Structure 1
């Protein structure tokens, strides 16, 4: 941050000690009225990033360390955000100001990663960012402070920019976030959204896990295995666990089923091809509006017309009554196995 020295000598006043004063070079304070402060702060703002500025830069602009300290005390006009970093306002910092403060505090090359970066990429699942997580080069010796978590890395990524903020690439960012938590549902939600949004894919995520730190990677690896099987939501991940508990054959997820003439029948959440059994997770929230209910009835009619057995389950029962759901699936599988398999098949990729 460059710029001309702010000359404060024009403000003539007797030397007094006052919390709202500027300290001259001779160590005395100069009392300023609100209008004078507004003019000074307007000039200082030009040298800041969204009102965030390093205290050492303020000093080069003519604001002494003593004045900066006083203005960050109760009753002052500024706010101390991080060691050596000031916000030229008393209000709570915005998300962008927190990010700028963290980058300013890091001093060296740094990129935002983790949940904060995920939000800037437009991802909305996962925990709300509680701190600004930065990656810094391994040789840096700056330590975490306040709302800033600094992580030194030998695998420093090439930054991607969103609104002028340097970010770790999406695969690195989301994995840096989820490997710090132990909430399986939160890990599932963010990784599934990242893949479905097109920000990344399973191969990129798995490659990042293989080349980076191994700390906290067990849950992400588990979730990537679920996504490989076609899981698209936390509820579907729960369903996959229930299905395996039932001891049934490895299922297909979200595949298109056609009749013997190639006509579309449905795309069940879970499909057991061995016996022609469909399992649908029918949430009351999404399936029982007037139009959605009609579509559900039409789907079930198509299943019935070709002889497909179908089990319908509310997602809430997967956790509230898992044993009952396991029993229902086993019973449905046994009944489907006892009858002649319907003449349907999975549509092959690329066919119409």
Structure 2
């Protein structure tokens, strides 16, 4: 035997397999433990200790699977024929040397199951899902079967690691879930929770729904209209908290800025007249067609900033994500702008009207 030829693995006792972390294994994983196809078939006979759950995927116990086992089984089924993409030296399937290391190349949990894993309260529990959606490259020759529903995609998203499983990011999982839902109330509940609970930004949701061509469905379009309103309301609440909890002076809220007798300069969510500092929340992109309008929105914002700065007014641009993830830091940004007013030339007089 040459030095380049690995020594064969010694068969592991079958009792060891029954104690595996998830008690779910593939044909390849069993072979790595020295279990032949004939032995596997014998253990899966009627009344035997094992069962075939999906093609090429086995439960190493006779009872019904747990929710965790179903997730692992679906991933192992979807990944079992994928070309390994792991780092050198890391096997694509569990082996006798690494029996508890699940690797799932080219398979990502998505849809309602992914939303459950992300913590969505509006998603039904895993035990209520007859099928679990799993993303695979569209070139894969794999069919839906049992509780595994194959969802093909041109490009797999970079997965989030949730409970040790590859899970689609919340916006993508949401779009895949909505694609299979005809219930308008269920769609609206999921979209509303996504924004209100901070799972994802409205613009990211709209982008994924647009990419999936779901905005042509009336019940989805209506839910997105409500999503924009919910997203703005949540961001405004955080802005109020920022001013209150971080000791900023009270601004005037929600005003339109105009030159006396002159043109409209734009709106401000908060404005400090004495310091000539305006805060604008960027929630405009969370509406239908936002993907196509992003260049126009950026151009509009740049024009507004230039017009205000020519008049000596500082415009602070805040996003819902910044307010959610770093409220104290955003308060510092606003406070710095307010303090810098003393070193600037006096601003032009503008009229602030309620909007």
TM-score (norm 2): 0.52
State how 1:14-163 maps to structure 2 within 5 Å.
Answer: 39-42=13-16, 44-45=17-18, 50-106=22-78, 107=80, 108=82, 109-129=106-126, 130=129, 131-163=131-163
Structure 1 residues 213 and 227: alpha-carbon distance in aligned structure 2, compared to 1, 3 A threshold? closer
Q: Is the 8 A contact 1:116 1:133 kept in 2?
A: yes
**In structure 1, distance between residues paired with 2:110 and 2:122:** 15
TM-score (norm 1): 0.53
Q: Is the 8 A contact 2:120 2:193 kept in 1?
A: yes
Q: Is the 8 A contact 1:52 1:85 kept in 2?
A: yes
Q: Whose radius of gyration is greater, 1 or 2?
A: 1
Shift, 1:190, TM fit: 1.1
Structure 1 residues 6 and 347: alpha-carbon distance in aligned structure 2, compared to 1, 3 A threshold? farther
- Aligned Cα root-mean-square deviation (Å): 3.5
Q: Is the 8 A contact 2:75 2:107 kept in 1?
A: yes
Q: Secondary structure at the match of 1:229?
A: helix
CA offsets per residue over residues 2-27 of structure 1, 9 Å max, x none? 993317xxxxxxxxxxxxxxxxxxxx
Q: Is the 8 A contact 2:114 2:173 kept in 1?
A: yes
Q: Is the 8 A contact 1:179 1:215 kept in 2?
A: no
**In structure 1, distance between residues paired with 2:231 and 2:168:** 26
State how 1:231-310 maps to structure 2 within 5 Å.
Answer: none
CA offsets per residue over residues 13-53 of structure 1, 9 Å max, x none? xxxxxxxxxxxxxxxxxxxxxxxxxx5221x257x561111
CA offsets per residue over residues 310-329 of structure 1, 9 Å max, x none? xxxxxxxxxxxxxxxxxxxx
Q: Is the 8 A contact 1:114 1:176 kept in 2?
A: yes
Shift, 1:179, TM fit: 1.6
Shift, 1:211, TM fit: 2.4
> Unpaired runs of 5+ in structure 2?
1-6, 83-105, 241-249, 251-352
State how 1:1-20 maps to structure 2 within 5 Å.
Answer: 4-6=9-11
